Amino acid sequence: MGGKKSLRAWVNVWSRRLHRWGAVAVFVPLGVVVVTGILLLVKKDVGWVQPATVRAGAIEDGEPLVDLEGVLSAAKGAPRAGIAGWGDVARVDIRPKDGTAKVVGTSRWEVQVELRGGRVVSEAYRRSDLIESLHDGSWFHDRVKMWVFLPSGVVLLGLWATGMYLWVLPIWARRAGAARRASVGRGGGVGV
């Protein structure tokens, strides 16, 4: 019985220490992950994070559309995006249901081009990619991603486990005390 109690006391003390110091160790990276995670959760609803998709109407089969060169030509006409050629394009996202193509420049500017006529329907700064790179730590450096943010995630898992243990410990103690009192009340204790 004495060994079991000392093991329980040791686990209790170390859970509290790990919980306390683990929280201190991951304070900054976890703060970055939480704030950027919240922003990423609302990116479709907040235009500041990611521009809303302009809906020009679904594309029907066989409908004449602008080709990729036409999309690039339209994107070049959006001065703030700074797109002069394919080298300035990070990606093109074609949305047949919306009838648009999103051209994301290396400058993080997004130009939406209507696929039927090739006209620019939106030009806005896109912060979601920057926020994603902050969220996973790759904005700082790939080594920071693997040697700071990944271990912070592992420590967070430990904080979750020790936090659950520290939360359930008083519940177990109350139940054990209630069971002892009930046992004594039923005559299970030492009699006179």
89 & 114 share domain: yes
Between the CA atoms of 125, 127, 128 and 129, what dihedral angle is there, to the nearest 10 degrees? 90
Alpha helices (H) along the chain: 2-25, 27-41, 68-76, 128-136, 142-144, 150-183
Residues 160 and 68 in one domain: no
71, 109: one domain: yes
pLDDT in tens, 169-191: 888 888 888 777 787 777 655 55
> Rounded CA gap, 134 and 47, in Å?
19
| Global pTM value | 0.69
Domain assignment of residue 185, yes or no: no
The answer to whether residue 79 is domain-embedded is yes
Residue 145: which domain range?
18-49+127-179
Mean pLDDT, rounded, for 102-131: 95
Domain shared by 113 and 136, yes or no: no
* 43 assigned to some structural domain: yes
User: Which of these, 60, 141, 68, lies nearest to 102 by C-alpha position?
Assistant: 68
By C-alpha distance, which of 40, 36, 32, 29 is closest to 147?
29
* pLDDT confidence bin for 1, thresholds 50/70/90: very low
Q: Is 188 domain-assigned?
A: no
pLDDT at 141: 92
Are 55 and 108 members of one domain?
A: yes
> What is the dihedral sign for C-alpha 162, 168, 170, 175?
negative
Q: Are residues 68 and 112 in the same domain?
A: yes
Rounded to an integer, what distance in angstroms lies between the CA atom of residue 106 and that of residue 15?
46
Same domain, 66 and 77: yes
Do 110 and 58 lie in one domain? The reply is: yes
94 and 83 within one domain: yes
Domain match, 55 and 120 both: yes
Contact 106, 11 (CB under 8 A): no
Judgement on whether residues 69 and 96 belong to the same structural domain of the protein: yes
Q: What is the pLDDT of residues 61-100, one digit of tens each?
A: 878 889 999 999 999 999 999 999 999 999 999 999 999 9
pLDDT at 14 over 50: yes
Is residue 13 situated within a structural domain?
A: no
* pLDDT digits 0-9 by tens, 16-53: 888 788 788 888 888 999 999 999 999 999 999 999 99
Q: How far apart are CA 119 and CA 116, in angstroms?
A: 8
Query: First and final CA of the chain: distance in angstroms?
Result: 26
Whether 27 is covered by a domain: the verdict is yes
Residue 186 inside a domain? The answer is no
Within-domain flag for 61? yes
For the chain, the domain total comes to 2
Q: Are residues 55 and 113 in the same domain?
A: yes
